[in-house]
Amino acid sequence: MAVTIKSAREIDLMREAGRLLEKVHNELGQAIKPGMSTLEIDRLGEKLIRGYGCIPNFLNYNGYPASICVSVNDEVVHGIPRADRILQEGDIVSLDAGLIYKGYHSDAARTYGVGKISPEAQKLIDETRNSFFEGIKMAKDGNHLYDISNAIDAYISKFGYGIVRDLVGHGIGTQLHEDPQIPNFAQRRRGLKLRAGMTLAVEPMINMGRCDVAWLDDDWTVVSDDGSLSAHYENTILITDGEPEILTLS
Ligand code: MF3
Ligand code: CO
């Protein structure tokens, strides 16, 4: 599938999809506390998304059984919410959420500390977020796609963290996952040329230890193979002639 360039009308719809998703994330972030189950987070997220008149795009996506991916500690992404998975003080939790507004998708992820967390865990969260911003400095018309990948890798590698290779960012629009795929690690080629009107979900997934991941028996939950903590940070962005517009962060 070719990479789509969104029209002015489509960009307005993507902006609204992003604006509403940011609100959902902010409300979820404030709700996180020790003692909460990961299922409660999903229930609240779905209620918020539907309350804005939108559809949770993750629900039933390739059979995924929930609206929000809730991934705790060594879980990288796609954790399935459960009533018996209770957040504990000191945990870190990644919330990945998305919605459809008038046919247009948004997708964003944040990692939070639950109560007081270790300085090492906080640093992993902060540097994962920082790597997103390093990457998108390169995200402008005329640059190449893998300039983003290379910038994320160059930044993160300084810390000795493992950049997850088995999962990547993606184009987004009338579908949750569109071309192109966006790796978070260095590429030998420069990749396709970025053009104003492309909308992309850039989403570094970073392990404190090695980059290798494994899948749990539920066929969804991705964990770090060495059991180390993992963080995720994602926004939906719009490529322009200048600075990218971050649609899921104001
Ligand atoms: N942000 C996630 C991604 O881009 C979306 C979760 S897919 C789902 O892969 F199937 F878990 F919903
Ligand atoms: Co995504």
Query: pLDDT tens for residues 19-38?
Result: 999 999 999 999 999 999 99
pLDDT in tens, 177-193: 999 999 999 999 999 99
Question: How many angstroms separate the alpha carbon of residue 153 from the centre of ligand 1?
Answer: 22
Question: In the predicted model, is pLDDT for residue 134 greater than 80?
Answer: yes
What are the strands, taking DSSP E only, across 8-78? 55-56, 68-72, 75-77
User: In this structure, which ligand is nearest to the CA of 94?
Assistant: 1
Tell whether the model's pLDDT for residue 244 goes beyond 80.
yes
Q: Is residue 164 over pLDDT 80? A: yes
* Atom 12 of ligand 1, residue of closest alpha carbon: 58
Asked if residue 11 has pLDDT above 80, the reply is: yes
Asked if 131 contacts 152 with a C-beta cutoff of 8 angstroms, the reply is: yes
How confident is the prediction for the chain on average, in pLDDT? 98
Q: Are 204 and 14 in contact (CB under 8 A)?
A: no
Q: Determine the pLDDT at residue 2.
A: 87
Model-wide pTM > 0.95 = yes
CB 78 within 8 A of CB 166: no
Give the tokens for residue 128. 């994962």
Question: Which residue's CA is the nearest one to ligand 1's atom 2?
Answer: 96
Count CA atoms within 13 Å of residue 58 on its CB side.
Answer: 26
66: Cβ below 6 Å to ligand 1?
A: no
User: Which pLDDT score is estimated for 1?
Assistant: 76
> For residues 147 and 188, what is the distance between their CA atoms, to the nearest angstrom?
10
Q: Determine the Cα–Cα distance for residues 75 and 73; give it in Å rounded to an integer.
A: 5
Query: What is the residue with the minimal CA distance to atom 4 of ligand 1?
Result: 169
Q: Which residue owns the Cα nearest ligand 1 atom 7?
A: 58
Domains in the chain, start-ordered, CATH in brackets?
8-245 (3.90.230.10)
- Residue 121, both tokens: 């865990």
Query: Residues 50-97: pLDDT tens digits?
Result: 999 999 999 999 999 999 999 999 999 999 999 999 999 999 999 999
CA 177 – ligand 1 centroid, Å:
8
- Is the Cβ atom of 61 under 6 angstroms away from ligand 1? yes
pLDDT, position 219: 96
Query: What torsion do the CA atoms of 42, 47, 50, 54 make, to the nearest 10 degrees?
Result: -40
CA 91 to CA 34: how far, in whole Å? 9
Six token digits for residue 189: 């080629």
